[in-house]
A = this chain, B = another copy of it.
Amino acid sequence: MNPNIIFRQLFDEKSWTYTYILADIETREALIIDPVRDKIDRDLKLIAELWITLTHILDTHIHADHITWSGLLREKTGAKIAMWEWAHIAKPDMMLADWEIFSVGDIKVRAISTPWHTDGCTSYFIWDMLFTGDTLLIRKTGRTDFQWGSAEQLYDSIQNKIYVLPNSTKIYSGHDYTGQTMSTIWEEKSYNTRIKNTTTLVEFIDTMQAVNLDYPKYIDIALTANMQLGIYNNQK
């Protein structure tokens, strides 16, 4: 990891979501990835304690398992919400093109579009770290059976946009349900249970068709809320 970056991984025990805060150690400009609404107090406190200024808010996708606090956070901090142009989000401040780079202090952030766990899924590549949201999980992938999911397109995203990155790239995912906090591209190419670098498209489609998961508990509330940046029914 670049020594000039402050890096924090944060965990929400209710949805098992990882939130990330990164900041330029010199300019103190900071970004947050996948903030969780229930953790607003913890995150704002930490941002104040670290003497950093939030300038950018990123969601990797429209989450179905928790409510983002991007909208509220923008109100409280004035930070910009950046989203890939395909995401179904109301009123972002920056519309990112695929492969676009933007700066947070001296931190260069590359947005890589990686659908289709959802059609707006975006991964963020910073230094030697890739923040994959639910596209690539540790030893798994996101599901493709709701929210405009597509196993074909997810295969293309992982094989042709993620597995082509350096093997040593660190993977920081949106969740892990076994208590792991990170992985690497090499590990996922070797050990991912759904898609290794040798997995064919036909094998992956078969695998994803056999995945049998419950309807997500919070999806009906979360999707509607998250398309409005977590501000819904006038609740704040």
Contact = CB atoms under 8 A, between A and B. Distances in A.
A9 B182 CA distance: 8
Interface in A170-201: 178-182, 187, 190-191
A49 B179 contact: no
A129 to B, nearest CB: 12
A180 B10 contact: yes
A12 to B, nearest CB: 6
B1 A179 contact: no
A235 to B, nearest CB: 22
A182 B11 contact: no
Nearest to A50: B187
A30 to B, nearest CB: 15
Contacts of A13: 13, 179
A42 interface: yes
A7 to B, nearest CB: 9
B181 A181 contact: yes
Interface string A154-170: 00000000000000000
Contacts of A179: 10-13, 39, 42
Nearest to A25: B168
A47 to B, nearest CB: 13
A13 B1 CA distance: 27
Given A1-B1, A13-B13, A182 B8 contact: yes
A46 interface: yes
Contact of A180 (B8, B178, B180, B190): B8
Nearest to A38: B179
B49 A181 contact: no
B191 A49 contact: yes
A44 to B, nearest CB: 13
Contacts of A181: 8-11, 181
20 contacts: A8-B180, A9-B181, A9-B182, A10-B179, A10-B180, A11-B11, A11-B179, A11-B180, A11-B181, A12-B179, A13-B13, A13-B179, A42-B178, A42-B179, A42-B180, A46-B180, A49-B187, A49-B191, A50-B187, A181-B181
Which 9 residue pairs of A and B lie closest in terms of their CB atoms, listed nearest first?
A: A11-B179, A9-B181, A10-B179, A49-B191, A42-B178, A12-B179, A10-B180, A1-B1, A13-B179
